[in-house]
Every structure is written in C-alpha cells, then in structure tokens.
C-alpha cells in the first residue's frame, strides 16, 4: 500500500513543473485577426511591394502580434518568446520587422543572426529573408556547410573599401581590411562556430538581433556551446564600447563602429543600451526554467495561441488506422492508393526504417505514385533535389525520418501519415504540422496495432485531443496486395543483404 502511495506521489510531483512568472500570463495572439498589409502601420512601401509580388497580401495573427511588439507600440523594448502552432507564419513574423528596422542602416555589417537546428530549415528561412531583404538594399548570408568553408567565407566577408574623407588609425588598419558582406546571417550552430573561431573578419560586435528558431531543439542539444559563445561575443563588444566612451584616446574611426547610444536602458535593471534583442520561437516551446535561463532573456514577453500548451493547426483532422500485426505495409499502400495521388509525407521512427520502407514500397510494382525517401543520412544535394521535386509535384509521396518534422514548409501537402507511432506529443505535433498550414485543411493518419491504441490515446490527451476517429481502408484492397507483398519482402531481403555486402567491401578497402 505504501509503495502504491509513493508511486502516486511520484506521478503528482512529475506533473508539477515550475513555470517562470513571465510564462504564467501570456499574450494570446489567437484573439487577433488577419491584417491586410495596407492596414499595417509603418510598413516600408518597398517591403509591401515585395510581399505583394510574392503573393502575400495580409499577415496572420502571430505576425500581426510580433509587428505590434517590435515596430508598433512595443518598440522591441522586451525580448519575445513565441509559442505558436506549426504553419502559423512564425518565420515571416520575425523576418519582416528585422528587415524593416535594418532598412535604415548606413554601414553594412552583420546585425541580425538567425540560428536553426537543421540545414534544410535554414535554407528555407534564408529564402523568406531573400524575398524581402533586397527590396530595401539588405543582403542575406547563409552558413550551413552546404558549400566549402572557403566558399562561404568569400560570400560572407569582403575587403573593406576606404571611405573618402575618413582617416584610419594605422595601428588598427589590419582590422579594417575585412568586413561583413551581409547584414543578416542564417546559420546552423556547427558552421556558425566554425566562422566564430576561424574566419578572419567575422564578428558579432555589431549584432542587434538574435533569433533562435526551433528553440526547444537548439537548447536540448549543446551544438558545441554555440549559445554561450554568441552571448559572450556580443556582451564583450558592449563592454568595449563603454571603455571607449570613458577613454577618448582610441580612434573612433578605427573599425567603423556601429553608432550606439551609450547609457542605461530605461526601467530595466541597468541593462546596457543597445542590448542584443532576442526572439525565441517554437511550436512546442520548453517551459524548463534551467533551459530558458541559458538565453539570458531581457524582461521577456510571452506570445502564445490560446491557453493550451501543445496546439495543432486549426483545420487539421486526426485519424487512427488499426492494422493487423505484420501487415502494416499493406495498409499503408492501400491508404496511399485511396488518397489518389495527393501530396503526402510518411513518417518513420528512424533513418534505417525510412530507407527500408521506401525500398519495400518500390518493390510493390507500379502503384501509380512516385515515392522518394528523405532523411538526415542523405547528402544535402539529394535532399534538396527530392524536396524540389516534391514541391513541384513530380513526387507525390515522401517517406521521411524526423529530419523533416520541424519547420519544413511544402505547399500543398494534404496528408501526413505516421507509419510509426510518434513517441512523444511534441513529435506528433511537429509531424502533423507539415499539413494544414497557413489556414489550409489537412489530415494526419496514424497507423497502429491494437496494443498501441491505448498509449496513443494517452499521448493525444497531452494536447487536449479527446477524439481521434478510426479510419478504415477497404479490406479487399489489402487482400489484393498480399501476393505482391510476399514477393516485395523477398526482394527487400536481397537488397538489404547486397547493401550490407557493399558496406563491408568498402570498409575492407578503407582499412587496407
């Protein structure tokens, strides 16, 4: 009896998670409406034209809320934390105000840094910035390891041209030869650290904005301690500014310093001005105080959608499909056939599962559906090519590991299929969020064995989802595939053995 009470007590204590005071009273962006660009105060005319030419004529609620807190009355006086469903428009929510503010810059230097956990997501975010930044004369750089480090350096750093009428201090002349070729940098943590540690002329001393997108994942994995390094680089530059202010001897023209107000920001516990403004965003933002403390947030404002912590897109329908043991591939094929070529992403639990399932599906013969795999173990060029073909409709179905769960935006994805049950509610939310984006409708199917149904129901409860109707495929469709399935399994076995042999052969040659 005592043991049972102890177990219950343990369960209760687990549920009690300390929440930071500023997270207890969030601003509900769900109460806002979409806003036409013409109603957006202070929007630069050239930015409005760039948005319209790319098919955007209004902003979603989360974008309106962030605009109000940055360009509007909020004036970026506080750091922003945004917890909003997938597909709600978080990327443009931070890209637009940052570009608007930096449009008045006089000297080109790196002033905004956006950090993302994956290369594919970084490429996507860079494209959003590239849609609007050139309209106001700003340049956007990418540091993700897609090209060689030397190629990246040539794109990020340029030799400084002497300004007419400005005298340079010969003692500091070596530091004036190189300068940033970009105003905004989109980077992955590993390659960012490479440039901080090794690239001459790469500096964060002028940085005004730091965006941490997919925050919970970036805080969960250390990525070579990129965050403390970035914060150290930016804070030390502010410290040096105060040294220069008190000591008039160093030349003010030495390295064309950003013009900064020297003083203390009003009302916020002696924070130096200008501080580094931070924006952190996720569809499943962590509430762990120890993780959030790493960000050193300044009087943060929490923007969220409604009172539920985990939220799915508004127009998403969730279904479960109960499968017979060992027959799951047949149910998947029958389901794909019933979807009649609609764009679909099939999620598996691992890179190995992705490869085997995609290989197996190809052995089913001509299904009338073009299927490709997409995983973190593939080369970047292969993944980019697959993604491009998927966007263009050449490929109808992508089988993916969780490499594609976060942030990836592919227009027209009508269905998501969880071939393997997601282990956590966060995984379900990020997978399901690849459809029903930007106000569109979509469906998420989860294939389950009978013994998985109870656990899946408990998982959905964490997102306050009480109903997940059963979806069925015609039994004759499944039965008609049995003979093909047996043949496909044999071919898969041969394919796996051949791949294993090739790997051993390559390993043997490399040892020799």
Per-residue model confidence as pLDDT tens digits over 119-136: 989 999 999 999 999 999
Whether the predicted pLDDT of 264 surpasses 50: no
Q: Once rounded to an integer, what is the mean pLDDT over residues 1-17?
A: 45
Residue 164 — very low, low, confident or very high, per pLDDT cuts 50/70/90? Answer: low
Whether the predicted pLDDT of 13 surpasses 80: no
* pLDDT on residue 314: 87
Residues 377, 381, 387, 389, CA torsion sign: negative
**Span of 153-162, 192-201, 219-228, 245-254 with lowest mean pLDDT:** 245-254
Residue 273 — very low, low, confident or very high, per pLDDT cuts 50/70/90? Answer: low
Residue 268 token pair: 């916020």
Residue 269 — very low, low, confident or very high, per pLDDT cuts 50/70/90? Answer: very low
Q: Which residues contact 268 (CB under 8 A, 6 or more apart)?
A: 77, 298, 299
* pLDDT on residue 221: 79
**Span of 355-364, 407-416, 473-482 with lowest mean pLDDT:** 407-416
Question: What are the beta bridge partners of residue 209?
Answer: 112, 277
In the chain, how long is the greatest CA-to-CA distance? 86
Whether the predicted pLDDT of 245 surpasses 60: no
* pLDDT on residue 360: 96
Cα–Cα distance between 307 and 66 in angstroms, integer? 18
Please tell me which residue, 373 or 245, carries the higher pLDDT value: 373
pTM for this model (two decimals): 0.81
Residue 177 token pair: 């030869």
* pLDDT on residue 163: 58
**Per-residue CA distances from 360 to 229, 354, 363, 383 (Å):** 45, 10, 5, 20
Whether the predicted pLDDT of 222 surpasses 80: no
Residue 10 — very low, low, confident or very high, per pLDDT cuts 50/70/90? Answer: very low
Residue 109 token pair: 């230097």
Whether the predicted pLDDT of 246 surpasses 50: no
Q: Once rounded to an integer, what is the mean pLDDT over residues 187-209?
A: 95
**Per-residue CA distances from 350 to 85, 345, 359, 452 (Å):** 24, 14, 14, 18
Residue 237 — very low, low, confident or very high, per pLDDT cuts 50/70/90? Answer: low
Say what percent of the chain tops pLDDT 70.
Answer: 84
Per-residue model confidence as pLDDT tens digits over 290-311: 999 999 999 999 999 877 778 8
Q: Which residues contact 49 (CB under 8 A, 6 or more apart)?
A: 135
* pLDDT on residue 251: 30
Q: Once rounded to an integer, what is the mean pLDDT over residues 484-499?
A: 93
Residue 509 — very low, low, confident or very high, per pLDDT cuts 50/70/90? Answer: low
DSSP H/E element including 131: helix 119-132
Q: How many CB atoms lie within 10 A of CB 100?
A: 19
Per-residue model confidence as pLDDT tens digits over 80-104: 999 999 889 999 999 999 999 999 9
Per-residue model confidence as pLDDT tens digits over 398-446: 999 887 777 678 889 999 999 999 999 999 999 999 999 888 999 999 9
Average pLDDT, the chain: 85
Residue 2 — very low, low, confident or very high, per pLDDT cuts 50/70/90? Answer: very low
Residue 495 token pair: 């394919």
Whether the predicted pLDDT of 510 surpasses 80: no
**DSSP SS3 for 185:** strand
Residue 236 — very low, low, confident or very high, per pLDDT cuts 50/70/90? Answer: low
3-state per-residue secondary structure call for 416-475: EEECCCCCCHHHHHHHHCCCCCCCCCEEEEEEECHHHHHHHHHHHHCCCCCCCCECCCCH
């Amino acid at each position: 009896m005592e043991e049972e009470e102890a177990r219950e007590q343990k369960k209760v204590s687990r549920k009690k998670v300390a929440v930071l005071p500023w997270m207890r009273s969030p601003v509900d962006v769900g109460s806002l409406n979409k806003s036409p660009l013409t109603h957006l105060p202070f929007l630069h005319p050239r930015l409005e034209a760039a948005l319209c030419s790319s098919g955007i004529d209004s902003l979603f609620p989360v974008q309106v809320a962030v605009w109000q807190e940055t360009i509007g009355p909020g004036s970026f006086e506080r750091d922003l934390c945004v917890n909003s469903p997938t597909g709600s428009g978080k990327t443009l929510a931070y890209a637009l105000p940052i570009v608007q503010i930096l449009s008045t810059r006089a000297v080109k230097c790196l002033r905004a840094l956006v950090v993302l956990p994956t290369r594919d997501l970084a490429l996507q975010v860079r494209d959003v910035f590239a849609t609007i930044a050139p309209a106001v004369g700003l340049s956007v750089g990418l540091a993700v390891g897609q090209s060689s480090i030397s190629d990246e350096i040539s794109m990020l750093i340029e030799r400084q041209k002497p300004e007419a009428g400005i005298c340079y201090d010969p003692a500091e002349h070596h530091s004036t030869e190189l300068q940033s070729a970009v105003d905004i940098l989109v980077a992955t943590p590993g390659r960012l650290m490479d440039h901080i540690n090794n690239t001459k002329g790469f500096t964060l001393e002028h940085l005004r904005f730091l965006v941490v997108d997919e925050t919970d994942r970036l805080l969960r994995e250390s990525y070579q301690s990129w965050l403390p390094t970035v914060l150290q680089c930016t804070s030390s530059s502010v410290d040096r500014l105060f040294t220069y202010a008190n000591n008039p001897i160093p030349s003010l023209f030495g390295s064309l310093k950003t013009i900064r107000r020297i003083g203390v920001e009003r009302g916020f516990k002696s924070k130096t001005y200008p501080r580094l403004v931070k924006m952190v965003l996720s569809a499943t933002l962590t509430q762990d105080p120890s993780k959030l403390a790493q960000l050193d947030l300044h009087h943060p404002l929490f923007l969220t959608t409604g009172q539920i912590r985990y939220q799915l897109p508004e127009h998403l329908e969730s279904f479960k499909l109960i499968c017979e043991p060992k027959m799951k591939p047949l149910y998947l094929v029958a389901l794909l056939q019933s979807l009649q070529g609609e764009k679909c992403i099939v999620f598996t639990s691992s890179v190995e599962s992705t490869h085997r399932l995609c290989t197996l599906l190809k052995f089913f013969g001509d299904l009338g559906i073009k299927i490709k795999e997409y995983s973190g173990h593939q080369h970047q060029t292969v993944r980019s090519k697959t993604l491009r073909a998927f966007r263009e409709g050449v490929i109808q179905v992508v089988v993916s590991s969780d490499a594609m769960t976060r942030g990836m935006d592919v227009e027209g994805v009508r269905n998501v299929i969880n071939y393997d049950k997601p282990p956590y509610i966060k995984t379900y939310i990020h997978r399901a969020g690849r459809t029903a984006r930007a106000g569109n409708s979509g469906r998420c199917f989860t294939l389950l064995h009978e013994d998985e149904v109870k656990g899946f129901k408990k998982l959905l409860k964490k997102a306050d989802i009480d109903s997940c109707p059963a979806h069925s495929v015609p039994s004759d469709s499944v039965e008609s595939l049995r003979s093909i399935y047996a043949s496909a399994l044999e071919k898969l076995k041969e394919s796996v053995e051949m791949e294993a042999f090739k790997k051993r052969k390559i390993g043997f040659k490399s040892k020799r």
